[in-house]
Amino acid sequence: MTANTIALGTILIADDNQSAREVLEMMLRSHGYRVFAVSDGQQALQLLQQEAIDLALIDVVMPGQTGFAVCRAAKDRPETRLTPIVLITGLGRVEDRIQGIEAGADDFLIKPVRKEELLARVKSLVRIKRFTDELGSAETVVFTLTASIEAKDPYTEGHCDRLSRYSVALGERLELPQ
């Protein structure tokens, strides 16, 4: 990828096995993706916080934090909960897949990873992430327009904020759960 080429997406790879990490990195870079590769879960979580990651490929079995723990931690944070996470595993048991689903994994790849399957899943999940990001931007625009329209009329100024406060107060009075 040259300096003038725009990446198809930004991918994070976390795997303690250097050769497995390098193979994934090479496959993705050769197809136009920007790639960050790290060797453990803690580094993966730090990069998820620092960079605009479109997709994370996380090995399940790593020393320290497992892929399940990294997935759970990322999905618990508002700023990373919508980042798709694919768990890569050699574990074939149904219980392992269930544990991954419960941790919030969006998909699974079984080792050894087949190039065609990897590229198809990456392409699909990056596209979904981009759509999600666009929806977030559209929501911000709608709220901004609503606030500016509301501010132009003294009768409606602050109406949405008041309505929101009244709704919260009503919910608390009725002892509804958060």
Q: Which tens digit of pLDDT belongs to each residue from 5-25?
A: 567 899 999 999 999 999 999
Record the tokens describing residue 17, joined without a space: 């096995």
pLDDT at residue 61 above 60?
A: yes
> Per mean pLDDT, which range of 40-44, 49-53, 61-65, 151-155 is the poorest?
151-155
Q: Chain centroid to CA 39: how far?
A: 19
pLDDT band for position 4 (cuts 50, 70, 90): very low
26 beta partners: none
| Integer CA distances (angstroms), 67 to 32, 70, 116, 142, 168, in order | 25, 5, 23, 37, 38
- pTM of the prediction? 0.74
